[in-house]
Amino acid sequence: MFKSAWQNLVQQQRAIAVIRVPQLSLGLSMARAIAAANMKLIEITWNSDRAGELIQQLRDELPDCVIGTGTLLTLDQLKDAIAAGAEFLFTPHVDLNLIEVAVAQQVPIIPGAFSPTEIVTAWQAGAASVKVFPVQALGGADYIRSLQGPLGDIPLIPTGGVTIQNARSFLDAGAIAVGLSGQLFPEEAIATQNWELITQQAQLLRHNLTNYVSDTPESPEC
């Protein structure tokens, strides 16, 4: 049941904001700016400053958002992330042990995969969806489209090269959603603490994906 709930949420939102920060305070401000655009899915990478604490604070402050984590490499990291309250888990690779533990805890896990073999292996092991990474190096939207014939029933989330401008092409190609990091958080905006610009970037992304956002009533702003 938890996997279908995750897929339904992703189909409604269609985009995940990925935050990687050297300072916890920056992560709070970046997440608030994303939430102001009514983006609900926020990933805090585990190699961010005090990632567990940041996840806990954001869950308290933004209860209508869904706060997860990524860049999980080891079983200890995954267990710590679950203990910190991460609501979904991204990994850059396929590790059957990590998938097994996440499934047992009923926390959606989205492993990163490169090839059809890895994608199918992750899915059959219990992944809630599969991250295709780094998608731009694999051919971008064309690679996602080429997977639809044999693997069309597996929900794919491309990351690594997705931009505000090309995000829609990945959905056209069959992806269930996309993950973005740097495109949503321009370095200049962070350096000048221009959080309004980040909100505008997120709003532009949502506008570009508007035909793919669920037509069910939107949740209240985060």
Q: What is the mean pLDDT of the chain?
A: 94
Q: How many Å apart are CA 145 and CA 172, to the nearest integer?
A: 8
Q: Using CB atoms within 10 Å of the CB of residue 160, give its burial: 0 to 12 exposed, 13 to 18 middle, 19+ buried.
A: middle
Query: What is the per-residue pLDDT across 7-27, written as a single tens digit (0 to 9) for each?
Result: 999 999 999 999 999 999 999
Domain coordinates of the chain in residue numbers?
A: 2-209
User: What's the predicted TM-score (pTM) here?
Assistant: 0.93
Query: Which pLDDT band, with edges at 50, 70 and 90, does 214 fall under?
Result: very low
| Architecture of the 2-209 domain | Alpha-Beta Barrel (3.20)
* Among 161, 170, 100, CA closest to 133: 161
**Residues 31/41, Cβ–Cβ less than 8 Å:** no
Q: Has residue 187 got a pLDDT over 70?
A: yes
Q: How many Å apart are CA 214 and CA 150, to the nearest integer?
A: 26
Q: What is the radius of gyration, based on Cα positions, of the chain?
A: 16
Query: Which pLDDT band, with edges at 50, 70 and 90, does 211 fall under?
Result: low
Query: What is the per-residue pLDDT across 53-111, written as a single tens digit (0 to 9) for each?
Result: 999 999 999 999 999 999 999 999 999 999 999 999 999 999 999 999 999 999 999 99
- Tokens 């219990």 locate to 126
Query: Which pLDDT band, with edges at 50, 70 and 90, does 210 fall under?
Result: confident
Q: How far apart are the first and last CA of the chain?
A: 24
Cα angle 7-11-13, degrees, rounded to a multiple of 5: 115
